[in-house]
Structure 1
Amino acid sequence: MSSVTLKPWQLGRWLIGGEWRAHPVRVVVAISAIALGVALGFAIHLINAAAFNEFSAAVKALSGQSDLQVRGVQPLIDEALYARLAQHDGVALASPVLEINATIPRTSGALKVLGLDVFKAAAISPDLIGVAAADKPFDTLADDAIFLSPAAMQWLKVKQGDMLRLQNGTDEVSLRVAGGLVSARAGQRIAMMDIGAAQWRFGLLGKLSRIELKLTPGVNREAFKKILLKGASASPAGAPLLVTETADDESRTSSMSRAYRVNLNVLALVALFTGAFLVFSTQALSVIRRRQQFALLRVIGVTHRQLIAQILTEGAILGVAGALAGLALGYGMAAAALHFFGGDLGGGYFPGVTPTVQFSPVAAAVFMALGTGVALLGSAGPAWEAARAKPAQALKSGSEDVALSKLATPWPGIACLAGGAALTQMPPVGELPIFGYIAVALILIGAIAMMPRLSSIAFSALFAAVARGRAGVVSTLTLARLANAPNQASIALGGVLSSFSLMVAMAIMVSSFRVSVDDWLEHLLSADLYVRTATSGSTGVFKTPEQQAIRAAPGIARADFLRTT
Structure 2
Amino acid sequence: MNLQWLAKLSWPALKHQAGRQLLALLAIALGVALGYAVHLLNTRALAEFGSAAATLNGKPDLVLRGSADGPLPEQAYAQAAALSGVALAAPVVEGVAQAVDAKGERFSLRVIGWDALQSGPLSPELLPTQGGSPLALLDPQRVSLNEAARRRLALAEGQVLTLRASAADDGAPHSLDFRTAGANAAPGGPLAVLDIAAAQQLLGKLGHVDRIDLRLEPGLAPQRWLAGAKLPPGSTAAPPPDENARLSDVTRAYRVNLGVLSLMAMFTGSFLVFAVMSLSVAQRLPQLALLGVLGMTARERAALVLSEGLLLGLLGSALGLLLGWGLAGLGLRLLGADLGLNGGGSAPPATLSWGMDQLPAAAVFAALGLAVSLASAALPALAVRRMAAAQVLKGLGGDRLQARMPAALGPALLVLGVALALLPPWATLPDVPLGAYAGMLCLLLGGIACVPALLKLAVGTLAAVHDSPLLLLARERARDQAGEASRALAGVLVALSLSVAMLVMVGSFRDSLDHWLTQMLPADLYLRSSLRVSSSPGPAQGAPLPPATLAALHDAAPDLIKRMTQQRSGNIVVDGAAEPVAMLAREGIDEARLPKASALAEGPGVPVYVNEAMRDALSLKPGQALTLRLAADGAPIAAHVRAVWRDYARQSPALMLPLGDYRRAGGDVHVTELYVWLAGGLTPADGVARLKATLPQPQDLEFAAADDLRGLSLRIFDRSFAVTHWLQAVALAIGLFGIAASQSAQVLARRKEFGLLLHLGFTRGGVMRLLALEAAVLSGVGALAGLALGLGLAAVLVFIVNPQSFHWSMDMSLPLARLATLLAAMFGAGVLATLAAARRAGLGDAVRAVREDW
TM-score interval for Structure 1 and Structure 2 normalised by the shorter chain: 0.7 to 0.9
Secondary structure at the counterpart of residue 70 of structure 1: strand
Residue deviations 1:273-305, cap 9 Å, x none? 222233223323433454444233212222122
Return the alpha-carbon distance in structure 2 between the equivalents of residues 213 and 137 of structure 1: 20
The match for 2:148 is: 151
Secondary structure at the counterpart of residue 245 of structure 1: coil
Query: Offset of 1:335 from its aligned partner?
Result: 1.8
Query: Offset of 1:462 from its aligned partner?
Result: 3.8
Q: Is the aligned partner of 1:549 residue 2:546?
A: no
Return the alpha-carbon distance in structure 1 between the equivalents of residues 504 and 67 of structure 2: 36
Residue deviations 1:56-115, cap 9 Å, x none? 222222233311223358774133443443333433222111122323345364222111
Return the alpha-carbon distance in structure 2 between the equivalents of residues 340 and 171 of structure 1: 35
Higher mean displacement: 188-197 or 255-264: 188-197
The match for 1:213 is: 214
Where in structure 2 are the equivalents of 1:57-456 lying within 5 Å?
A: 57-72=51-66, 76-80=70-74, 81-105=76-100, 107=105, 109-130=107-128, 139-169=136-166, 171=173, 173-182=175-184, 184-185=185-186, 189-224=190-225, 234-236=232-234, 241=236, 243-246=238-241, 248-341=242-335, 346=340, 356-359=351-354, 360-395=358-393, 397=395, 399-401=397-399, 403-407=401-405, 409-429=406-426, 430-431=429-430, 432-456=432-456
Secondary structure at the counterpart of residue 124 of structure 1: coil
Give the one of 514, 531, 534 matched to 2:530: 534
The match for 1:494 is: 490
Higher mean displacement: 490-499 or 297-306: 297-306
Q: Is the aligned partner of 1:56 residue 2:50?
A: yes
Q: Does the 8 Å CA contact 2:98/2:108 hold for their aligned counterparts?
A: yes
Query: Are the structure 2 counterparts of residues 52 and 206 from structure 1 closer, same or farther at C-alpha, using a change threshold of 3 Å?
Result: same
Secondary structure at the counterpart of residue 428 of structure 1: coil
Return the alpha-carbon distance in structure 2 between the equivalents of residues 457 and 369 of structure 1: 40
Return the alpha-carbon distance in structure 2 between the equivalents of residues 27 and 498 of structure 1: 21
Query: Offset of 1:389 from its aligned partner?
Result: 2.0
Secondary structure at the counterpart of residue 406 of structure 1: coil
Query: Are the structure 2 counterparts of residues 109 and 350 from structure 1 closer, same or farther at C-alpha, using a change threshold of 3 Å?
Result: closer
The match for 2:499 is: 503
Q: Does the 8 Å CA contact 2:47/2:244 hold for their aligned counterparts?
A: no
Identity %: 36
Secondary structure at the counterpart of residue 164 of structure 2: strand
Code of the aligned partner of 1:491: R
Q: Does the 8 Å CA contact 1:115/1:194 hold for their aligned counterparts?
A: yes
Secondary structure at the counterpart of residue 264 of structure 1: helix
Return the alpha-carbon distance in structure 2 between the equivalents of residues 336 and 90 of structure 1: 50
Q: Does the 8 Å CA contact 1:426/1:435 hold for their aligned counterparts?
A: yes
Query: Offset of 1:213 from its aligned partner?
Result: 1.2
Return the alpha-carbon distance in structure 2 between the equivalents of residues 75 and 551 of structure 1: 33
Return the alpha-carbon distance in structure 1 between the equivalents of residues 239 and 345 of structure 2: 19
Q: Does the 8 Å CA contact 2:38/2:258 hold for their aligned counterparts?
A: yes
Q: Does the 8 Å CA contact 1:323/1:371 hold for their aligned counterparts?
A: yes
Query: Are the structure 2 counterparts of residues 54 and 512 from structure 1 closer, same or farther at C-alpha, using a change threshold of 3 Å?
Result: farther
Return the alpha-carbon distance in structure 2 between the equivalents of residues 116 and 87 of structure 1: 19
Query: Are the structure 2 counterparts of residues 549 and 402 from structure 1 closer, same or farther at C-alpha, using a change threshold of 3 Å?
Result: farther
Code of the aligned partner of 2:552: A
Q: Does the 8 Å CA contact 1:463/1:480 hold for their aligned counterparts?
A: no
Q: Does the 8 Å CA contact 1:131/1:147 hold for their aligned counterparts?
A: no
TM-score of the superposition, structure 1-length normalised?
0.83
Return the alpha-carbon distance in structure 2 between the equivalents of residues 330 and 151 of structure 1: 27
Return the alpha-carbon distance in structure 2 between the equivalents of residues 274 and 532 of structure 1: 48
Secondary structure at the counterpart of residue 485 of structure 1: helix
Residue deviations 1:31-58, cap 9 Å, x none? 2322222112211221122222222222
The match for 1:3 is: none
The match for 2:566 is: 559
Code of the aligned partner of 2:453: R
Query: Offset of 1:466 from its aligned partner?
Result: 5.6
Query: Are the structure 2 counterparts of residues 346 and 457 from structure 1 closer, same or farther at C-alpha, using a change threshold of 3 Å?
Result: farther
The match for 1:46 is: 40
Higher mean displacement: 27-36 or 391-400: 391-400
Higher mean displacement: 352-361 or 278-287: 352-361
Q: Does the 8 Å CA contact 2:126/2:186 hold for their aligned counterparts?
A: no
Query: Offset of 1:29 from its aligned partner?
Result: 3.5
Residue deviations 1:245-286, cap 9 Å, x none? 25x222111111211111122223433322223322332343
Query: Are the structure 2 counterparts of residues 288 and 234 from structure 1 closer, same or farther at C-alpha, using a change threshold of 3 Å?
Result: farther
Query: Are the structure 2 counterparts of residues 214 and 444 from structure 1 closer, same or farther at C-alpha, using a change threshold of 3 Å?
Result: same
Give the one of 6, 13, 16 matched to 1:15: 13
Query: Offset of 1:402 from its aligned partner?
Result: 5.2
Secondary structure at the counterpart of residue 363 of structure 2: helix
Residue deviations 1:419-478, cap 9 Å, x none? 11111121111212111111111111111222222223223434555645xx9x7x9867
Query: Are the structure 2 counterparts of residues 32 and 536 from structure 1 closer, same or farther at C-alpha, using a change threshold of 3 Å?
Result: farther
Code of the aligned partner of 2:565: R
Q: Does the 8 Å CA contact 1:69/1:213 hold for their aligned counterparts?
A: yes
Secondary structure at the counterpart of residue 567 of structure 2: coil
Higher mean displacement: 156-165 or 107-116: 107-116
Query: Are the structure 2 counterparts of residues 318 and 464 from structure 1 closer, same or farther at C-alpha, using a change threshold of 3 Å?
Result: farther
Secondary structure at the counterpart of residue 112 of structure 1: strand
Higher mean displacement: 440-449 or 162-171: 162-171
Secondary structure at the counterpart of residue 164 of structure 1: strand
Query: Are the structure 2 counterparts of residues 185 and 122 from structure 1 closer, same or farther at C-alpha, using a change threshold of 3 Å?
Result: closer
Secondary structure at the counterpart of residue 163 of structure 2: strand
Query: Are the structure 2 counterparts of residues 138 and 372 from structure 1 closer, same or farther at C-alpha, using a change threshold of 3 Å?
Result: closer
Code of the aligned partner of 1:181: A
Q: State the structure with bigger RCO (CA 8 A, min sep 6), 1 or 2.
A: 1
Query: Offset of 1:215 from its aligned partner?
Result: 1.6
Residue deviations 1:197-223, cap 9 Å, x none? 111123232343322111223332234
TM-score of the superposition, structure 2-length normalised?
0.57
Residue deviations 1:325-359, cap 9 Å, x none? 32222122212222334577656699996654334
Code of the aligned partner of 1:325: L
Return the alpha-carbon distance in structure 2 between the equivalents of residues 518 and 551 of structure 1: 31
Q: Where does structure 2 lack aligned partners over 5 or more consecutive residues? A: 167-171, 534-539, 572-581, 583-854
Q: Does the 8 Å CA contact 1:414/1:450 hold for their aligned counterparts?
A: yes
Where in structure 2 are the equivalents of 1:1-12 lying within 5 Å?
A: 9-12=7-10
Q: Where does structure 1 lack aligned partners over 5 or more consecutive residues? A: 1-5
Secondary structure at the counterpart of residue 212 of structure 1: strand
Root-mean-square deviation over aligned CA pairs: 3.7
Q: Does the 8 Å CA contact 1:146/1:175 hold for their aligned counterparts?
A: no
